């Protein structure tokens, strides 16, 4: 995403949605389409937004989304859902999302994570993950080997993971988001 500034106004250019994100939206649509009616009802839509973005939409947001559905359909059909969620997803600020996740994990508000914080996070997100793997992940994230994971260290790991690992599934990001929701 790029931000263009002209005078006092800033304009954000939205990024393109990739095939993995589109596939995920289609999968979520089909999982939430209760009764396989070919569209999402109001309740189906709320569940879909939770699955995609990790939060329950407000009544007004749900109303706006429902109003933007197809005129000839009582809900939101697949293509319209993908279009609406794609715009919403492309407008997200990945830096801000990473900052929110880091802040949720930094329960002591120190501006960095220690090994104990890291263990606690992984215990909640993936309780069966071996401690050895958590230690390896901590060492990998602690680029300067100072025993602390700064926001910059965390951002580098998340950016690397999103670019190289999550391009096909998005699983790591959603796991971290789910953990951050549990911590708030």
pLDDT at 14: 55
Other residues' Cβ atoms within 10 Å of the Cβ of residue 183: 16
- Chain mean pLDDT for the chain: 79
pLDDT at 182 (0 to 100)? 52
pTM above 0.75? no
Residue 110 is given by DSSP the state S
The DSSP bridge pattern shows strands 149-150 and 112-113 to be antiparallel
122-153: per-residue pLDDT in tens? Answer: 888 888 888 898 888 889 888 889 999 998 88
- Using one digit for the tens of pLDDT, what is the confidence trace for 73-91? 889 999 999 999 998 888 7
Distance CA 20, CA 87 (A): 15
């Amino acid at each position: 995403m790029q931000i263009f500034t002209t005078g006092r106004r800033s304009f954000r250019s939205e990024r393109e949605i990739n095939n993995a994100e589109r596939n995920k939206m289609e999968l979520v649509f089909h999982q939430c389409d209760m009764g396989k009616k070919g569209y999402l009802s109001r309740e189906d839509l709320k569940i879909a937004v939770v699955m995609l973005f990790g939060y329950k939409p407000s009544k007004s947001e749900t109303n706006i989304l429902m109003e933007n559905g197809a005129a000839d359909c009582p809900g939101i059909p697949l293509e319209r859902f993908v279009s609406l969620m794609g715009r919403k997803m492309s407008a997200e600020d990945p830096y801000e999302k990473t900052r929110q996740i880091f802040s949720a994990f930094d329960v002591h508000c120190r501006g960095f994570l220690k090994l104990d914080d890291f263990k606690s996070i992984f215990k909640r997100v993936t309780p069966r993950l071996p401690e050895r793997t958590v230690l390896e992940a901590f060492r990998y994230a602690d680029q300067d080997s100072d025993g602390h994971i700064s926001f910059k260290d965390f951002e580098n790991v998340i950016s690397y993971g999103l670019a190289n690992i999550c391009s096909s599934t998005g699983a790591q990001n959603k796991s971290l988001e789910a953990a951050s929701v549990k911590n708030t």
